[in-house]
Structure 1
Amino acid sequence: MRIVPVPSANDLTESTPALDVLAGSIIDAPQLIHKPQEGTQTEERWLYELQLAGVLPVVEISKSTASTLLPPTLYQWFELKMHKLNSGLLTLFRISLVAFAGLLVVPTETIKPWIPLVFVISTLPPLNFASFFSLEVLALLVRYYEFWFVSMLNTLTWLGLGVIFGDVRAITCLTLWLNYQTVVAIDANFRTFPAAVKSTVISGPAMVALVICCAYSIVADSSFPTLYIGVLPFQSRQVVVFTASTIAVFMFKKAYTKRRRIRIRLQDRKNNPAPTPGRHSIPCVLILARVRLGLRGVSGAGPNANDRATNLGIRPASANARSVYTNSARIQQFHLAPTKALIVDARNILLPKHMLKYLLSPYTKAVLYGFGALGLSTTAISWFLILHEQQKLTESLEVGIAVVATTCSLIFTVACAALAQRDLLRLLIWNFDVLFSTCQGSVLAICLLDLSRWRASSCLAIVAWWLWFHVLLIIDALTPSLTHKLRIRKYFGLPAVIVVICVAASCAVELLIGDEAIFCSRLLWSVQVVNRAGFDIHTSTLAVQRTVTIVGWFPRLLAELAWGSSNQVLFILRQVEYFSPYATFSEPAVTPSAEFVPTERERRKTRF
C-alpha cells in the first residue's frame, strides 16, 4: 500500500504530468486532478479518502479539580510546589510498586503493621497527579465505550483481589484501583504525562505478575474462596485472572500507542521545527476521531480544496471557524495527529475486476440477499434448537437446518469478503479492535466446539455464528460506491449483531445454570506448583470468560449501527492530540505570569 500526501491548495494549482488511471491502485492526487483525458469524472467517482465525520471538540484544558476547588493564590502555590514535589511523588510511586509485590508474597502478620503506611504511600501520587487532570478532557473520555469497559474490568479486578486477601490488606485495593484508573484516563493528563507514559509501560507487566500470582496461588495467606453461580463454580482467582489478563492487553496497547505517538511527534517536530500553539503536544490513545469515506473531489482551488488537503493532518485555525485559540492556548480544538493522506480506489477489491459486473447484476444481488437473510435466520433457528432440548426436532432435521445455515452464511461471507477493498482490509487486519474481537470470537468458537462434543449440528451452528461474527468486522472495508450499487445500508448489520450477542449470552447462561446435556465441560489445562494448590482451566470456564468479554464489548457496535451516522466507518478511527502551554511538573517551574491562574470571575462561572 502506497500512502501519498494530499497536496495543499497552492500545490494543486501547479501543472503536473498526466498519468493513466489504473484500476486497483492508489493514485496520487495531483496526477488525478490534472488528468486531461476524457472520462476523468467517471474515474474519480471510484476514489475515496478518509475524512473527518464531524467537527473535533473544543476544550479548555486548564480547568482541573485543583483549579476549580482551590482559591487562586492557594492554587498557584500548590502548582509551584508540585514542581518541587514531583520527583518525591514519583519515588513514592516506585515504592508503592515494591509494596504491592510485598502484599502478594509477604505473610500477613509481617506486613500488617505496614498497611497504613502502604496505603498512604500508594494514595498520595495518584491523588496529586489526578488533581491536575483536565476536567473537560475527562468529560470527553466518559463518552467513549472503551473507557467504561476497561474501568469496569479494573473495578472487578481489585474487588476480586480484595476477596482473595480477606483481611486488612484489602483496603490497599482501593489505592491500587485509583492508580490504574489514572492510567485509564491518561488522555486527560497533561502535567505529568512523561511519568504517566512510564507508568503505563509498567502497568501491563504488573497485571501479568498479578495473573501469575493468582493462577498459581502464590498470594500469601489467602484462601481463594470459590463462588458459585448456578451450578458452575467460579474460583475468585479465576475471576482476577480473567479481568487482569484482559486489562493487561489494553495496558500494553496504551503503552505501545502512547510511546509510538510521542516518538513520531518528536520526529515530526525535528523535521518541521515550525512553532506550535503549545509547549507540549499530548497524543491521545482513547479519544479518537470518527472518520468517513468521502468521495475524492475534482476541484483543485478554493477553500474546499484546502480543507480536504488538511483534513488528515494538523488542521490550522483558519481551516475551520470553530477552531479556537487564545494567546495562552487554554481554549483550543483537538487536532488530528500528523499523518499522510490515503486515497483508495474502490475497484481495488479482492474479487477479480471482470467478475464485478456479474455480482452487481440485479439477479445476483437478489440471490445474495436471499442467502444472507436465509443464512442469518437459520443460524438463529439452529441455535434455538440446540439451546432448547425439550423443543428439539428429529436429529436429521436439526442437521439439515444447520447445513443450510452454514452454507448460506459461508456464501454471504465470501461475497462480502470478495467485495472488500484491499487497502481498507489491510487497515482492519492491523486494527486493535478487530484483532481483539477476532481472538475473543475464535477462542469462544473453539471452546464451544469442544463443549458440544463435536456433534454435527452444533459444530455447523457454531461455524455459522463465527462467520457472521466476522462479517461484522469487515463492514468498514466495503466502500460507499459498492454498498450503494448493492443497496446495502449499514443498519442491515443490526440483526447480525443481535444474533451474535444473543447466542453468546445464551451460551453463558446455559454454562452457568444448565446441566451437561448440551455442553459438557472438560479439563483443558492443569498446573501444579510445589506446596501450592493447582490451577485448572476447564473449557466451560474459558468459554464463559470469552462470552462475558463479547457481550460486554459488542454492545458498542450495536449502538453505533443503530444510532451512528450511516456514512462513518466503525473500526477505522483517527488519532488526535492537543497542545499544552504548561510546563510539566518534571520541568523547572516557570514564572506565575506564564501560567494560568483562574480569576474569581472565571471561578464563579465554573461553579455556576
Structure 2
Amino acid sequence: MLLRIAVFGAPAPIGRILAPISAILHIPALVVYTAGIRLEFAKLLLQTFEFWFALVTNTIWLVVFSVVLGDLRVLLVAVSGLNFASSLLQETYLRDSLVIVGLAMIEALCLVLLMTAVSVELLDEVQHYSLVSTRHHELSTKDVLVNIIGTMITLMMRTMYRRFLQFKHQKENPGTAVQSLGYHCRITLAPTASSTTGSNSILPRPIGPLPQTKTKQTEMKATSQHPPLQMHLVPDPERFDARNTIWPRFGSLKPLPTLHRIGLYLCGATGLVSYSLSLLLPRSCRSCRTDVIAVMGLTTTGVVCGLHLCCCQRQLLKRVLTSFDYWFLTCQVLAAHLCLFDVFYWRWPSACGVIASLLWGHWTLTVDALTPSMKRRLGVKAWMPTCTILVFMAVQLLLMLALLVWDDSDLQDRVVWDSQILGRQVRFQVVPFLLSRLFTIFVWCSRLLYALVTRKSDNTLMLLHGNVQYDYQHWKLQMKSANTSAIGANETDPQRPQR
C-alpha cells in the first residue's frame, strides 16, 4: 500500500521507477487469491448486475487513467484494476474472510487517496483531455475519473457493509451457514389470509441459476463421489399487516370510490407531464402559463406522493429505507437535483419541477413498501413505476443533450470553487459533477426497469431482495467423509488388482 501511494504521490520520474516494483509485489498475492476462488460460486456472481456494473466501472477507470498517465505508472494501474476486479469475487474465496476484509479496506483507502489526488490535481505529469466541449460546458477525463473512483469506493463500502451485516447475522444465529454477499434472489409478497385481514408475508422466490444449480447438484451426486457446495434460501418468517401503515386513517383497506381513483390517476398524469414541461421548456417560451404549469405539477405530485407515503406499510418502508440500493440511488438523485437548482439559476418555476422530480424518484424507490392489498386499493398497476422511470430517464437524457449537444445558454455552469493548491489551479464546476451523477442514475434506472419488466408477478419486489446462504464448514466435513469412504471402498474392492 505504501509503495502504491508513493508511486502516485511522488514526482513522475520516481513514480516511473517504483511502478514496476510495486506491480511485481502485487502479483504473488493476486495469484494466490485467484487460485482459491471457487468457480461454481463465481459463475453465480457473473450473472448479477452488480458484478458487471462494478467490472465495467473498473474497466473505464483503468482505460481512462492509463491514457492520462501515458508512462510506466500504467503497469501499477493495470495491477490495481485486477485487484479491484478480484475483490468483486471476494466471497468466492472461502478460506479466511478476515484477510479478505482487510485487503478490501486497504484497497478502498488507496482509492480514497487517489480520488483526492485526482480532484485537486496533485498527480505529477498527468495530461487530462476534453471529452465533450461546447461554448458553455465541458466534460474532461478528470471529471470521469473522479466520478468513476467515487463509484468504486461506494461499491466497496457496500460490500463492507454487507460483510458487517453478515457477521451480525452469524452472531445472532449460531451455526456454520454464511450468507452470500453478492448473490441474492427476488422476493414476492403473498397474502397469508383473506383480504379483510390484510396480512401478507414475504416469500423468497429464486431467480436466475438457483433452480438450475439444484439440478446440476443432483447430476453431480450421481456422477461424483464429492458432494457439491449447496446454496439455500434464507427463510423470512416475518409477517406484514397491511393495516399497519404510516397514517392508518388514510391507509385503511376500504376500497377507494371510483371517482377518487380517477382523480388520483389524473393527479399522477398531470404531475408527470407538468414537471417535465417545467424543466424542459426553454426560457424564451416561459410565461405566466408556464408558471402555472410548474405550480400545478408540484401540487399534483405532492398529492400523489403524500397519499402514497401515508399508505406505506411501516415494516416494509423501514426495510426499503435501510437498504443500500435505496441510499445509493437517493444520494445520487439528491446530488444531481441540487446541481439542477443551480443550473436553472434557482428560478422558482424550474425549482418546482426539480422538487417534483425528487418526489417522483422517492415514490418509485418506495413502491415496494405498498402491500398487494394496498396497491389494489389505490389502483397502482404494474406498469406505473415503469412509466415513471421512463419519464424520469427521458427528462434526464434531454437535459444531458441540452448541456452537451444543444449548448443551451439558459443553463449555467457555475464555478463552485477556484483556488490554488500546491501551486496548481484547482477548479470545480457544477455541470461536470451533474453529468457524472446523471450517467450513474441512468445506468441504475436501467437496472430497475429490467427488474420491473422481467418480474413474473405484480407482487414481486423491485428494490428489496432475498438472501441465500451456504454452509462451507459442513461441506468440508462432507468432503472429508466422502474421501474416507472412497479410500475404504478401494481397499475392500475384490476386483482391485493386487500387487
State the TM-score, normalized to the length of structure 2: 0.84
Bigger RCO of structures 1 and 2 (CA < 8 A, at least 6 apart): 1
Counterpart-to-counterpart distance in 2, 1:226 and 1:323: 50
Deviation at 1:196, TM superposition (A): 1.8
Please name the residue that 2:139 is paired with. 234
Cα distance in 2 for partners of 1:321, 1:222 equals 54
Structure 1 residue 282 displacement after superposition: 4.3
Deviation at 1:123, TM superposition (A): 2.6
CA separation of 1:285 and 1:384: change in aligned 2, threshold 3 A: same
Query: Which residue identity does 2:159 align to in structure 1?
Result: K
Residues 208, 582 of structure 1: alpha-carbon distance in 2 compared, 3 angstrom cutoff: farther
User: What amino acid is the match of 2:465?
Assistant: L
For 1:163-242, what aligned pairs fall within 5 Å after superposition?
163-219=67-123, 221-231=124-134, 232-242=137-147
Would the aligned equivalents of 1:122 and 1:175 in 2 still touch at CA under 8 Å? yes
Match of 2:450 among 559, 563, 566: 559
Deviating more after overlay: 173-182 vs 153-162: 153-162
Q: 1:437, 1:550 within 8 Å by CA — same for their partners in 2?
A: yes
**Alpha-carbon distance in 2 for matches of 1:360, 1:107:** 70
Question: How much has 1:167 moved relative to structure 2?
Answer: 0.8
The alignment of Structure 1 onto Structure 2 pairs a total of residues equal to 463
- Given that residues 188 and 461 in structure 2 are in contact (C-alpha distance below 8 angstroms), is that contact kept between their aligned partners in structure 1? yes
Counterpart Cα distance in 1 of 2:104 and 2:167: 13
Q: Name the structure 1 match of 2:180.
A: 284
Q: Is the contact made by 1:289 and 1:574 (CA closer than 8 Å) also made in structure 2?
A: yes
Question: Is 1:331 matched with 2:234?
Answer: no
Q: Secondary structure at the match of 2:468?
A: strand
Which deviations, in whole Å up to 9, do the C-alpha atoms of 1:333-374 show, x marking residues without a partner? 42234x763211101112333773677222211111111122
User: By how many angstroms is 1:310 displaced?
Assistant: 10
Q: 1:537 aligns with which of 425, 428, 434?
A: 428
Q: Secondary structure of 1:292's partner?
A: strand
1:430-579 equivalent positions in 2, closer than 5 A: 430-531=322-423, 533-565=424-456, 566-579=458-471
Query: Would the aligned equivalents of 1:425 and 1:474 in 2 still touch at CA under 8 Å?
Result: yes
The 5 A counterparts of 1:91-490 are: 97-219=1-123, 221-231=124-134, 232-266=137-171, 268-269=173-174, 281-296=177-192, 330-337=227-234, 341-353=237-249, 356=252, 360-386=256-282, 393-490=285-382
* 1:295–1:227 distance in 2 versus 1, CA, 3 Å: same
Partner amino acid, structure 2, of 1:176: S
The CA RMSD measured in Å over matched residues stands at 3.1
Tell me how far apart the structure 2 counterparts of residues 310 and 488 of structure 1 sit (CA, whole Å). 21
8 Å contact 1:211–1:241 — kept in the other structure?
yes
User: Gapped runs of 5+ residues in structure 2?
Assistant: 195-200, 206-212, 487-499
Q: Secondary structure at the match of 2:416?
A: strand
Offset of residue 223 of structure 1: 2.8
Instruction: Give the residue type in structure 2 aligned to 1:187.
Output: E
Does 339-348 or 246-255 show the bigger shift?
Answer: 339-348
User: d(CA) in 2 for partners of 1:309 and 1:402?
Assistant: 40
Q: 1:365 to 1:333 in 2, by over 3 A?
A: farther
The 2-side partners of 1:297 and 1:373 are apart by: 34
Question: Identity of counterpart residues, as a percentage?
Answer: 22
Instruction: Output the CA distance in 1 between the equivalents of 2:23 and 2:356.
Output: 51
Call closer, same or farther: CA 1:381–1:394 in 2, change over 3 Å.
closer
Counterpart residue number, 1:58:
none
Q: Check 1:464–1:595 CA distance in 2 against 1; reply closer, same or farther (3 A cut).
A: farther
The verdict on how the C-alpha distance between 1:493 and 1:377 changes in structure 2, with shifts beyond 3 A counting, is same
Q: Is the 8 A contact 1:112 1:168 kept in 2?
A: yes
Question: Which residue matches 2:491?
Answer: none
Q: Aligned-pair distance for 1:420?
A: 0.6
Q: Provide the rounded CA distance (Å) in 2 between the counterparts of 1:355 and 1:195.
A: 49
Residue 336 of structure 1 aligns with an amino acid whose one-letter code is: L
Residues 1:321 and 1:99: Cα distance change in structure 2 (over 3 Å): closer
Shift of 1:111: 4.2
Structure 1 regions of 5+ residues with no counterpart? 1-96, 299-307, 313-319, 585-589, 597-608
Is residue 159–residue 173 contact of structure 1 (8 Å, CA) maintained in 2? no
Equivalent position amino acid for 1:410 in 2? G
**8 Å contact from structure 1 (residues 150, 247) kept in 2:** yes
Q: Is the 8 A contact 1:521 1:538 kept in 2?
A: yes
**1:486–1:263: structure 2 CA closer, same or farther, 3 Å change rule?**
closer
Cα offsets for 1:50-91 (capped at 9, x unmatched)? xxxxxxxxxxxxxxxxxxxxxxxxxxxxxxxxxxxxxxxxxx
